[in-house]
Amino acid sequence: MAKKDLVGWFFSHEGTRADIDTSVKVSEYSVAQIRHLLSKMEMVDQLYRDRLMSVPGTDQRYLGYVSKLIANDKANQAILTKIIAHMGWPKLSVVGSQGVNAAWLVVWHAKRPYQDRYFPLIKKAHENGEIPDAHFTTLRKKLAPAH
């Protein structure tokens, strides 16, 4: 696809709907419900990334997958922001390893300002043994030398 066509495609797909609802009222959720929500966030985070790996970049489905991936990333970021406002950074002792992994994936796939915003919370969680070393060190290396 030509560069001109690709730019037009992105503008025409800005309204793509995410596969997860951002209107959730996280502040009313129990810990079990938040765990389930984080699990769903991880599933939608990976769904279109996995599909992208199965089609060539010239395949018409490729751009549709990219559009869904972007919509899901934005939705997951909005939901994670609500979770953090409600309970702080998701901790192993509270949401388990799957929940912590889901939160990390959301930050990992976000743009730099979102990563910078939550890096101090991730660092503190790491210092308290509440996230895996690999999550912290991978993100720290990506954000270096700023952190």
DSSP 19-83: SS-TT--GGG--HHHHHHHHHHHHHHHHHHHHHHTTS-TTSHHHHHHHHHHHHHHHHHHHHHHHH
Question: Residue 8 pLDDT > 90, yes or no?
Answer: no
Give the per-residue pLDDT at 14.
61
The residues, ordered by sequence, that sit 6+ positions from 51 with a Cβ below 8 Å of its Cβ are: 61, 65
Which of helix, strand or coil describes residue 85? Answer: helix
8 inside domain: no
5 inside domain: no
* Percent of the chain clearing pLDDT 70 (strictly above): 89
2 inside domain: no
Which of helix, strand or coil describes residue 116? Answer: helix
40 inside domain: yes
* Percent of the chain clearing pLDDT 90 (strictly above): 73
64 inside domain: yes
Question: Residue 13 pLDDT > 60, yes or no?
Answer: no
- Reported as a single tens digit per residue, the pLDDT across 98-141 is 999 999 999 999 999 999 999 999 999 999 999 999 999 999 99
6 inside domain: no
120 inside domain: yes
Domain total for the chain? 1
Question: Residue 15 pLDDT > 90, yes or no?
Answer: no
pTM: 0.87
Q: Look up the domain containing 84 and give its range.
A: 25-143
94 inside domain: yes
Give the per-residue pLDDT at 3.
45
